[in-house]
A and B are shown apart, each in its own frame.
Chain A
Amino acid sequence: DAGVTQSPTHLIKTRGQQVTLRCSPKSGHDTVSWYQQALGQGPQFIFQYYEEEERQRGNFPDRFSGHQFPNYSSELNVNALLLGDSALYLCASSQGRDLEYFGPGTRLTVL
Chain B
Amino acid sequence: QKEVEQDPGPLSVPEGAIVSLNCTYSNSAFQYFMWYRQYSRKGPELLMYTYSSGNKEDGRFTAQVDKSSKYISLFIRDSQPSDSATYLCAISRSGSARQLTFGSGTQLTVLP
Contacts and interface: CB of A to CB of B under 8 A. Distances in A.
Contacts, number: 58
Interface in A91-106: 92, 94, 96-97, 99-105
A50 B46 CA distance: 22
A48, A100, A105, most chain B CB atoms within 10 A: A100
Contacts of B99: 33, 45, 48, 56, 58
Contacts of A50: 97
A96 B44 contact: no
Size band of the B side of the interface? 20 to 34
Where chain B touches its partner, the secondary structure class is: loop
Interface in B64-101: 88, 90, 95-101
A41 B44 contact: no
Interface residues of A, number: 28
Interface of B: 6, 34, 36, 41-46, 49, 88, 90, 95-105
Interface of A: 4, 31, 33, 35, 40-45, 48, 50, 55-56, 58, 90, 92, 94, 96-97, 99-105, 107
